[in-house]
Structure formats: structure tokens, C-alpha cells
Amino acid sequence: MNYSADKNSIWQAALAKIEYSLSRPSFLTWFQETGVKDIQNGIMTLFVPNIFVKEWLQNKYHKNILHVVREMDTDIKDINYVIGKPDADAASTIHKQLTKKRLRSESFSPDGEELITKDALTDPETSLNPRYTFDRFVVGSCNELAHAAAQSVVKNPGTTYNPLFIYGGVGLGKTHLIQAIGNTLIKEKPHYRVRYVPAEKFMGEIVEALRNQTMNDLRGKYRAVDLLIMDDIQFIARTEKMQEEFFHTFNTLYEKNKQIIISSDKPPQAIATLENRLRSRFEGGMIADVGIPDFETRLIILKAKKEQKSYPVSEDILSYIAQNIKTNIRELEGALNKIIVASQLSAAPFDIEQAKKILAAYLNAPKKIISAKKIIKTVCDFYDITERELMNNSRKKDIVRPRQITMYLLRSELKNSFPSIGEKLGGRDHTTVIHSCEKIGQELETNIELKEEIQILKERLFV
């Protein structure tokens, strides 16, 4: 089949779809200057401007790109990325797409890419949000170590705990805590230079700087600070080139005894794609986690939030919320806001029955029953591998390990039979499954890191 006539229109239509699912800055950063080189034997080859974009598209957006392209043309079986410039025709394709979209409102789609959007309060110099302070941070047993480490960094930045590495699940206060350090330091030391950046934004800035040939300025900007706070570093681990860039920045700062603070959704040893030299740097500092708060802490957090909003909400309502929302502080706050808004509309504070009604929709959202599918997806997300890799015959350690853990979880959480576990993981023999489950089970008795990883996985399964 000859696709060359419409290769550009396929790509333009694909871009239109991709654009919908991304924030505007993300779309521009990663898809500007892409174009179709050719389509041969079912493989679409895309031009990308540089290695950073290539790795990011391959590692983060590949599945989505393939999906939308295949909606247009099912003969396309795979996508290849090469560094190069699209020809004039292809370049005008993307140009058309970009100018058309520019006319549209600059709103963002609700796809979790808001990482990049800014709060109106955010300080342009430091990118810190002044709302995130220590006095608004409630300390409980779930986060006391992380909090104490953060306090030490404030007292002795660059010396005691460098880097400070904070990890934990979504909505448990990582961003709040690491920004609180920055906010305190700029207040106490007026000349102290702080820069906060989410890893995804850092990557976007690099691509932008390459495009505008301003890499030196960008490096200068990050290497001239006294404190660098890098949020959600797990994104950087997906691409080698980005890690390299970050590594140099890290070293420059580290050698000058400048403080570095990092957050991630998992501990360094569980980020499979993290380069060893970065991992050992992280492990040389202080690592602390933020966990799920217990009931008492959840209640204290709700009381504190209520005070900040200065609106009366009765104690029994607060305790009802704290009983029912357990694993995410952001959701805790969300539920409280819902009640406050609804009762403001009705012009009188709510009683518990009214509150229960309002929250019903929130709480009765379909309960997440855990299934084999969910276990597989959770493990793959956690270790940053694809389901295909998990199923196939790869003997690479980065794959074998998550595969064994999947088997173990299918057995321990769902009581699946050994043959059916083998079946679910690409048709493996039941003796392999037995061996894997035993191996993980035994190792759990001595290997603390493994224990921790399985604990995190279980928490995520039941969220």
C-alpha cells in the first residue's frame, strides 16, 4: 500500500487528537517539529528534533501515539522515531495544526498534566507557592521522619542531609513539605536563591532551550542556586539523556555544598530505570517517606483546613470524612471543600445527614475491586515497564523481578491457582510460578527493601 500521499494527513489528524489529551505547554514542547518521514511495511517513522524528545516520546507517549495513529490507519503496526527535520510538506502539517490550535482558548485538559500549570500565587523567581509552609503542615507518625529531616535541612542547608530524598504516594504531602523548606529559607535568608521545579517541567525547559539554543542560560539558571528542589523525579528516570543532564546539575551543586531536595513516588531502589550513579548519589543522602495518615492525623488535618477556611463544620462531619477517606490528603481536603461550598449555598451550616448525602457521590464512586488486571497494571506502573515486557520471555533482571512480584501478589492477594497465574502471565508453566512465589516469599523475610516495595504496591492496589 502506498501511504505517502496521506502520511501527513494521518499525522495531522493524530496531532489533533493528541493535543486534546495534553496541556498546551506539553503538547508544544514534545510535538513541535515532529513529522512523518515515511510509512513502510506497517511502520511509521517520525522525525523528532533531538534525543530528549525521542526518548520521551518513546518512553511516555508511545502507546498513545500508536493508538491514535491506528485509529486512522489500522495497517500501521508500530512507530519508529528518528532524529531529523521533516520535509517542507510535513513541516507545514504540524504548523497548520499549531496555528489552528493557537486560536482556541488556552485552557488545559483535565488529564493530570496540571503539574505544569501555575498557581496564581506562585513566585516567578523561585516557583514556590507561599501556601506551602511548615505551620500548615500537620505532623503525625506517617510523616514525622520526613518532617524532622526537612527541619534539619532548614537549619543546616547543604551539609547535614544532602540530598534529601522524600518519597510516597499521591496526595500525601511531598510537594507541600519540600516547598515548605524553600519557603522558610527564603524568609530567613533574604539572599538565599531557591528554585523549585517539577521534573516534567525541567525536561520541557531543556527541550525548549535546545530549540532556542539557550542551553547555557538554562544550565546557568539551575547551577547558580543555593537550593534546588526537584519534584517527582520518577519522570526523569524514564529518559537517559535527561538523567545525564540532571546528573551534571546535581554534581555542580553538590560539589559547592548547595542543598538538593528531591521527591519521588517511590524509593530510589525501586526506580528500575534510574542510573546507578544517580541512585548511589541519592542513597548517600537522607531518604524518608511520607505514608498514609492514621485516623487521628486525618482528623487533625481536617480541623486545620477548616480553621484556614474559617467556616463552621461540625466535629461529627469532620470525623465522618476522616473515617471514610483514608489514603489521600488531597481528597480529604476535597471532601471538606465540597461540604463547605454546598452548605454556603444553602445558607446554613450542614448537619451530618446532609453532609452524608453530599458525600455519597464522592464515596460511592465505584469501589475499586482488585483484580488480576489491576495487580498487573500496578506492578508495571510502579516498575515502569510495559505489560508486554511482563508477559514476554525477557530474562532481564529489571523485568524478571517485577514478574515474580506479580506472581507473588496474584497468589497472596487473589489466591489464584498456580496454573492460572502462569496462564495470566503469558502462558508460563505452573512450576515457574511456584518457584517465583516461594522465592519472593522467602526473600521477604530478610530483604527490607523488597518488603517496603511490596508494602507500597499493596497500598496502591487498595487505593
CB of 345 to Mg ion, least distance (A): 30
Q: HSE (CB half, 13 Å, CA atoms) of 429?
A: 3
- Gap between the Cα atoms of 373 and 430, Å rounded: 19
Smaller CB distance to ligand ADP: residue 61 or 137?
137
CA distances 330 to 143, 319, 333, 336, Å, are 15, 16, 5, 10
- Regarding 264 and contact with Mg ion (CB under 5 A), the answer is no
Q: What is the dihedral angle through the alpha carbons of 47, 51, 52, 56, rounded to the nearest 10 degrees?
A: 60
Q: Is 175 in the site for Mg ion (CB under 5 A)?
A: yes
CA distances from 77 to 14, 40, 81, 86, 328 (A): 15, 10, 14, 21, 39
Residue 340 in the binding site for ligand ADP (CB under 6 A) = no
Considering beta carbons, is residue 12 or 175 the nearer one to Mg ion?
A: 175
Q: Determine which residue in the list 14, 65, 172, 237 makes contact with ligand ADP, applying CB under 6 A.
A: 172
Going by the DSSP 8-state scheme, the letter that residue 105 receives in this structure is -
| DSSP at 1 | -
170 binding partner (options ligand ADP, Mg ion, none; Cβ < 5 to 8 Å by kind): ligand ADP
Q: Which uninterrupted H or E stretch holds 399?
A: helix 397-414
| Segment lying near ligand ADP (by CB under 6 A), choices 13-21, 68-76, 133-141, 369-377 | 133-141
Instruction: Tell me which of Mg ion, ligand ADP, none is bound by residue 137, counting a contact when its beta carbon lies within the kind-specific cut-off of 5 to 8 angstroms.
Output: ligand ADP
Side chain identity at 291, as an amino acid letter? G
Question: Measured over all CA atoms, what is the biggest interatomic distance in the chain, rounded to whole angstroms?
Answer: 69
Residue 301 in the binding site for ligand ADP (CB under 6 A): yes
Distance CA 247, CA 279 (A): 10
Which range binds Mg ion by CB under 5 A, 15-23, 167-175, 332-340, 359-367? 167-175
Q: Among residues 163 and 173, whose Cβ is nearest to ligand ADP? A: 173
For the CB of residue 174, give the shortest distance to ligand ADP in the complex, in Å. Answer: 3
Exactly one of 143, 184, 343, 378 binds ligand ADP (CB under 6 A); that residue is: 143
In the list 37, 54, 174, 460, the residue contacting ligand ADP (rule: CB under 6 A) is: 174
The verdict on 12 binding ligand ADP (CB under 6 A) reads: no
Cβ(166)–Cβ(289) below 8 Å:
yes
176 binds ligand ADP per the rule CB under 6 A: yes
Binding positions for ligand ADP, rule: CB under 6 A: 136-138, 143, 168, 170-176, 301, 329-330, 333
Binding positions for Mg ion, rule: CB under 5 A: 174-175
